[in-house]
Amino acid sequence: MSNNNYKCDLSQKNKFSVSKTVISTIPWLIVSGLLWAGVFVKPTVTIEKVEKPAIEPRDNIYGVDVVDSENIWLVGSYGKILRSNDSGSTWRVQKTNVVNHFQDVSAWDNNKAVLVGNSGVVFITEDSGETWREVIVPKNDVANKLLRVHTYINGEAWSVGEFGTILRTRDYGHSWEKMREDEDVILNDIIKINDSKVIAVGEFGAILISDNDGASWDLVELDFDIESSLMAIEFKDQFNGVAVGLDGLIITTEDGGTTWKRGITSGEKTSEHLMDIIWDESRDVWFSVGNKGAWVEIDSSLENLKSGIFDKMDLSWHTEINQVDGEYVAVGANVGKFSPKYNKFVELSDKLVW
Amino acid sequence: MEKFALACINKRKIVLALVCFFTLLLSYPAFNIDVKTIFEDLQPTSHKYIKTHEEFKNTFGGTNIITFMVVAKDDDIFNLNVLEKVQGITQGLLKIDAINEFQIYSLAGKKLKEVKASTEGIESRPYMWPNLPQSEKEINELKQAILKNPLVYGPYVSKDLKATLITVDFFDDLLNYNLAFDQAYELAKQFEDDSVEVSVVGNPILYGWVNHYLPETMNLVLLALSIFLVLLFIINRTWRGTLLPLISGAVSAIWALGISQLCGIHFDPLVVVIAMLITARAVSHSVQMITRFHEEIDLLGNNLCSKIAARLTLKDLLRPGLLGIATDAGCVAVVAISPIPLLQKLVILAVVWVSTVAVSAVILTPVLLSWVKKPNSYAHGLNLDVILIRPVLNLCVKVVETRARYAVVFIAVTLFMVCGYYSLGLKVGDANPGSPILWPESEYNEDSAKINKKFPGADRMFVVVGGERENQVKEVEVLNTMLRFQTHMEAQPQIGGTLSIADILPEVNKTLREGNTRYHELGENTLVNGELMYMFENAAEPGDLDRFVDTERRNASVTLFFTDRKGETIQTAIARINQFITDNPLVNQAQIHLAGGVIGVIAAVNEVILSGQIQSIALALFILVIMCIAVYRSSIAGMFFMAPVILSNLVTFAFMSWQGIGMNINTVPVAALGIGLGVDYALYICDRIKSEYEKGHSYIESISTSIHCAGRGVLVTALVLIASVCVWFYSSLRFQAEMGLLIGIWLSVSALSALFLMPALAYIFKPKFIFSEEKRRSAL
């Protein structure tokens, strides 16, 4: 220990040496610096930036409308609105101030469109969707979900939904009137086939016809039983139409909806729910989509039926379909284009469904 | 010091008897120490994630889940042969010890169910429990039923229909990793054949593998020991030079393990490398003693008693020896500020172990040497001293004498800066996918990669939403928030998917609406959601919803499936969760609590390590400086000895960052020990320079003597230890191989800096605590 005592004296002797003081404080500075760092410096982590795709994996896209070969509108869950100006290659998100599920969209032209959704929300746009404005529509006290909307010339549009709701506008969606008394039945689709005739379909196989532009409605009596709901209806002209529904239900009419026939004579039927149907003039066929990636094709004679699934590995459900340039855009649990020519389904966004 | 040395040598019989007595006493517990790994020991108990994990692990998913994947080699799983195997494995699970039979999820189990609408609402039935489908038609129905259910198709049956998962959870407190490992593999092998491939992963399997390699680990320890002894014998050329270090190492190992066993601390096979490292300290001190003893006895001549030489040795080396040990112990003890039990236990083991070196090497070696006569001849003729050791030491002296010393300092400074820069890239957490404990091509990591390719991810994290009021998780806003949260999290590519009650209710709702997908949505209000939950549970069995919500509907889980455990992945996920919480003020109503499951626990561990890393380095350096100041009465001494420590740490960190070795729970203790490790060699060298200079020798003479004496000890131990550490490269455990490599680097850098850098620095700066003029004058 004598050794150390000696050193003490030494350091005292030199205690006025500035440079020595500086040097001997350096280790303390380092240590206190480290201590300070240990206590106060919280390491920051560089986070990988995660880009969100326009169509996110969990989006359910319920409605689609093809304005022309370039312009497509999609609406879906949690207030999602998407617009493409390049046939679906890229999408841009449009916003409203609500997060209701939107069920359907329909456009009068490239600028003017209307969308409907849960709780009876209706939004219109006049500027290609840059701004969407909510309009108040007549509601009931029970259930107000609006399921489909279709636009017609001169600013007319029809929408249907829960509790037997049928709504009509004639001023591009600015004002809506209730076209029918409330009833505890869900109406799933509606179509106007000429100046005065409107047909709606819904739960329990209900078919409602109005021959006076909605002033009064008649329930069509069918000469067969239907347990399943009708989900969609389409006409290729004033007389020939097809309605599809749950459990692969397909019914046809050749007289403008007055009488209906069940079943197609030949072809492999599907038991999947069918959710939408369109008439494809260019291929002269009816085309329908539904659950588990199923599609059904019926020829114009309404006699031959073909069915299949878009992609064996992708069993996503679809609620609507529309044509664009000889292909079909199907929306639902995913969004994709089906090419009937190549029998190939291409998703419009990488998407994982489960 | 002189008195103490004298007392030790004079009462050498008593000292020896005491050491023998304690060694014998402790050898029984030492040889019976528990060798096992406990995953729960990793959990930093005070961390808020762990609190969440502990509260909910029994229902929302623990850390000890085993996942079996059955892959059909041709076609898909929908044929009787494959389904029979799935059933076989599921039933076989019940024979595995400690499994939680209520947490078996399999197509052939009771928990995965098909939900169907019926006239009375909805009904549910297990897919193939108790019976398998019999006909082609029934198999097809099963397939259709699975395809319809997004809770099964995706999470439990792969998208390509070629694989299915069977998962099982364990009761943590009953789980024995070895047993579970053996039983799980036995079960898998039993059903594997030409038609199916079975992969098995999970924590119990991973730690089972570690234990599986225990015999190999023991063999490697023995091999390392033999290499060590042979090299020591070749270099020292005497039996005493070989056996005494061995005795030192053995005595301290027995004491440390014995005391640990008595304290109820078990020995984790993953820390065997650390044990090697500490034993290396014992050996290193012992070799210093022997080298010095040889020198003293040479000076004293044949006639004089070995006792005097032993006393002189002890007297002179007691200070650097004890300082080295105290620094080692102090630096390791700093790790105990970490709230991770595994590290705390390890610290106790390491501190005890390092402290025993004071007795086993610093005291016992000279005491034993006092009985040894001066050797008349060497045990063999190969003199490495002449052909290897002396030339190297001469080089060291040459470097100090010439201007090359500036080159050494320049190299050190460059290395310091370059490595400092690279070590910033050091990752916290695992740096690669798969387990860093095993090699990438190991069966476990390959299985893990296969599962992550087919499924959303085998490793899970859950967060808990709610907690304020009963029935809170039935509220639309809460459920919507959960869904938005899930969407937000799934945007991260490494998160394969998420699952919560908010995914189930839309399914139930849709089912009640004839399967109309436009109703694939949550209920409109709390009442409807409550009904949907009731419907689901009513149709299922009580407890089927337990993994999603608690019985009071107060808390709900969101399970996130991760495809890897990389530190970056987990940090990004945690940061994104926090970002969501900040961006969504609505969440305040139902708080999101982080985080449980394997990933939640790892996240907590990584956070603790990250925030503790700077602290522990700072504290360890602090202790080093305090020790040096206490002993040398000079703060310059503190700074002086910091140089080799910081340098060896930076080089090692830079190497880790370059090789993609992450700073995780397994590497942290090694890093902490490294701080203490770097300084030992430098202490011996500088202390010898000091005492030579005080005897009146010139600067160069003092340095030269020190390098040839203390430096020889440094070089010999470094060579021998580096050689024996190399055997770890052949370990089947990647972790051990990497740690072996790191320790090798640590030893090399600290040996090199002690031999080249420290003398150069001492000569250039001539610090007063080494070259003390007054002391020298009084000695002269």
Res A351: pLDDT:
39
Residue A23 with chain B: CB contacts under 8 Å:
636, 639
Res B121: pLDDT:
64
Q: What is Dmax (Cα atoms) for chain A?
A: 120
Residue B613 with chain A: CB contacts under 8 Å:
43
Most confident by average pLDDT, A226-230, A252-256, B374-378 = A252-256
Q: Are residues B473 and B479 in contact, defined by beta-carbon separation less than 8 angstroms? A: yes
- Tell which wins on pLDDT, A79 or B373: A79
Q: Are residues B461 and B595 in contact, defined by beta-carbon separation less than 8 angstroms? A: yes
Res B304: pLDDT:
62
Most confident by average pLDDT, A243-257, A260-274, B310-324 = A243-257
Mention every residue, 6+ apart, whose C-beta is less than 8 A from residue B114: B124, B125, B126, B127, B145, B146, B148, B149
The position carrying tokens 């019989």 is B13
Tell me the domain boundaries of chain A. Answer: 61-347
- Whether residue B617 and residue A317 make contact (CB cut-off 8 A), yes or no, is no
Q: How far apart are CA B620 and CA B166, in angstroms?
A: 47
Q: Are residues B680 and B324 in contact, defined by beta-carbon separation less than 8 angstroms? A: yes
Nearest CA distance, A272 vs chain B (angstrom): 10
- The H-or-E segment that residue B122 falls in is strand B121-126
**Contact with chain A for residue B500, Cβ under 8 A:** no
Cα B530 to Cα A243, A294, B484, B533, distances in angstroms? 35, 33, 20, 5
Residues 82-121, chain A: which have Cβ within 8 Å of B? 99, 101, 103, 118-119
φ, ψ of residue A114 to 5 degrees: the values are -135, 145
Strand segments, DSSP code E, in B106-156 are: 113-118, 121-126
Mention every residue, 6+ apart, whose C-beta is less than 8 A from residue B456: A354, B154, B155, B495, B496, B497, B561, B563
Q: Are residues B290 and B57 in contact, defined by beta-carbon separation less than 8 angstroms? A: no
Instruction: For residue B707, give the DSSP letter.
Output: H
Q: How far apart are CA B472 and CA B555, in angstroms?
A: 7
φ, ψ of residue B225 to 5 degrees: the values are -60, -45
Mean pLDDT of chain A, nearest integer: 86
Token readout for B190 is 């039993």
- pLDDT higher than threshold 50 for residue A15: no
Q: How far apart are CA B160 and CA B162, in angstroms?
A: 5
Res B117: pLDDT:
67
Question: Which of A3, A77, A315 comes nearest B147 by C-beta?
Answer: A315
Residue A313 with chain B: CB contacts under 8 Å:
159-160
Q: Are residues B163 and B77 in contact, defined by beta-carbon separation less than 8 angstroms? A: yes
Cis peptide before B595 (omega within 30 of 0): yes
- pLDDT higher than threshold 60 for residue A11: no
Query: What is the residue type of B516?
Result: N
Residue A118 with chain B: CB contacts under 8 Å:
521, 524
B57 CB-side CA count, 13 A: 24
Question: Which of B514, B572, B617 comes nearest A48 by C-beta?
Answer: B572
Residues 39-78, chain A: which have Cβ within 8 Å of B? 39, 41-43, 45, 47-48, 50-53, 56-58, 60, 62, 77-78
Helices assigned H by DSSP within B237-358? 239-262, 272-300, 306-333, 341-357
Residue A304: CB atoms within 10 A of its CB come to: 14
Q: Are residues A134 and A100 in contact, defined by beta-carbon separation less than 8 angstroms? A: no
Residues in chain B: 780
Q: Are residues A324 and A87 in contact, defined by beta-carbon separation less than 8 angstroms? A: yes
ipTM reported for the complex surpasses 0.85 = yes
3-state secondary structure B487-514: HHHHCCCCEEEEEEHHHHHHHHHHHHCC
Residue of B165, B424, B517 for testing the chain A interface, max A β-carbons within 10 Å = B517
Nearest CA distance, A335 vs chain B (angstrom): 15
Residue B374: CB atoms within 10 A of its CB come to: 15
Topology of the domain covering A61-347 = Methylamine Dehydrogenase; Chain H (2.130.10)
φ, ψ of residue A251 to 5 degrees: the values are -130, 150
User: What's CA B123's distance to the chain center, in Å?
Assistant: 48
The position carrying tokens 């009953």 is B174
- Tell which wins on pLDDT, B643 or A120: A120
Ranges under pLDDT 50 in chain B: none
Mention every residue, 6+ apart, whose C-beta is less than 8 A from residue A10: B768, B772, B774
To 5 degrees, how large is the angle CA B239–CA B240–CA B245?
Answer: 115
Res B610: pLDDT:
76
Nearest CA distance, A273 vs chain B (angstrom): 8
**Contact with chain B for residue A233, Cβ under 8 A:** no
Res B741: pLDDT:
86
3-state secondary structure of A253: strand
DSSP of A60-128: -EEEEEE-SSS-EEEEEGGGEEEEESSTTSS-EEE--S--PPEEEEEESSSS-EEEEEGGG-EEEESST
Query: What is the residue type of A170?
Result: R
**Contact with chain B for residue A174, Cβ under 8 A:** no
Nearest 10 degrees: CA dihedral of B707, B710, B716, B717?
A: -130
Token readout for B463 is 């967060």
Q: How far apart are CA A296 and CA B42, in angstroms?
A: 57
- Tell which wins on pLDDT, A214 or B151: A214
- Whether residue B633 and residue A228 make contact (CB cut-off 8 A), yes or no, is no
Q: How far apart are CA B113 and CA A304, in angstroms?
A: 38
